[in-house]
Homo-oligomer: A and B are copies of this chain.
Amino acid sequence: MSARRATIADVAREAGVAASTASVVFSGKTPVSAPTRERVLAAAAALGYTGPDPRAASLRRGRSGIVGVVFRDRLGTAFLDPVTTVMMDGLADAVADVGAGLLLLRDDDGAEPSLNAAPVDAVVLIGCSVGMRDSLDVVRARGLPVVVIEGDAGDGVPQVRLDNREGQAFIAGHLRDLGHREVVAVTLPAGPRRHAGWLRDPAAISVDVTRDRLAGMHDVFPAARAYATMGSLVDEGYAAGRAILATHPRPTAIMAQSDLLAIGVLRAVVDAGLRVPEDLSVTGFDGIAADGIAPRVLTTMVQPAAEKGRAAGAAITAMLAGAQAPTIRLTSTFRRGDTTGPPAG
């Protein structure tokens, strides 16, 4: 029990070899004779040495093996939507391939741990909207590789995006083909200052995903109204559904911008004594939350959420290897469930 922890130099001395030899035993970068390895390992065990200090190693190698992930929301909020969760899973897998881990960071200014002082090799920005400019500035000033998921960071920053507009337009087309004319959208949050209610000015939406999906609906139903929520939550969808059902004319279809919202809408519709899809059709977006409405199947766009994370991870990996990563556009696929049908009457 010494006062300070053993270093590789101590181990080398104990084993009667040079420090560099001991180093190689642990890194495996160069062949070492069996007897020498034995001695080094024995010395390490005797001294309670458990391997190179990660801090020193990362200084020396210029890599920490850590990828920062910056969220706009609190963690508790961000992870409430399975789509984020699954994406993180994919991201974790992808960076694990290069031995990297994920460090959780928030966009909040002044928040600790600040992005400036975190020992990260690269950064992933999630849901990059106006508010994320600060994080982006820091990242660029530090010269770190960066990838943006579902957001636009402008000039030369690789993105991983979904065909949000096309996807939503596809669903809208599906409804139009069924004969629907009076359609209402239930949207994700429109900006950093959240509040629920009818959206007056679609042009003022600062969140890319919300804007794009709404644009997709408007491609097909230019005059459709939209009701904004404060987050992708079942209960938000429920509240929006109730509010919409209280207005006239009552729509024949409600397009939610996420499955979670759609589930809430569905519940509000059923609670109002209406049948789905006979009286009202409901659609979602994401294709994640099968959980919660079984045995019903939501009509929705299934997005490759895990793939999104993996693509971001691959981009990071490429940039770390010195290559340039391209912007990646993933596509969602239509899934027809049993929540849509021809309008009544």
Contact = CB atoms under 8 A, between A and B. Distances in A.
Number of copies: 2
Interface in A221-278: 233-235, 238, 263, 267, 271
Interface string A289-304: 0111011000000000
Given A76-B306, A79-B85, A100 B116 contact: no
B92 A104 contact: yes
A51 to B, nearest CB: 6
Interface string A57-87: 1110010111000000011110110100110
Contacts of A116: 50-51
A238 B290 CA distance: 12
A48 interface: yes
Interface residues of A, number: 65
A268 to B, nearest CB: 9
Contacts of A89: 74-77
Contacts of A138: 50
A194 interface: no
Interface stretch (A15-23, A105-113, A178-186, A195-203): A105-113
A119 B86 contact: no
Closest 4 interchain pairs by CB? A76-B89, A101-B113, A54-B119, A99-B112
25 contacts: A5-B143, A50-B138, A50-B142, A54-B64, A54-B118, A55-B58, A58-B58, A65-B117, A65-B118, A66-B103, A66-B119, A74-B92, A75-B89, A75-B92, A76-B82, A76-B306, A79-B88, A80-B82, A80-B85, A96-B112, A101-B105, A101-B118, A235-B290, A263-B292, A267-B294
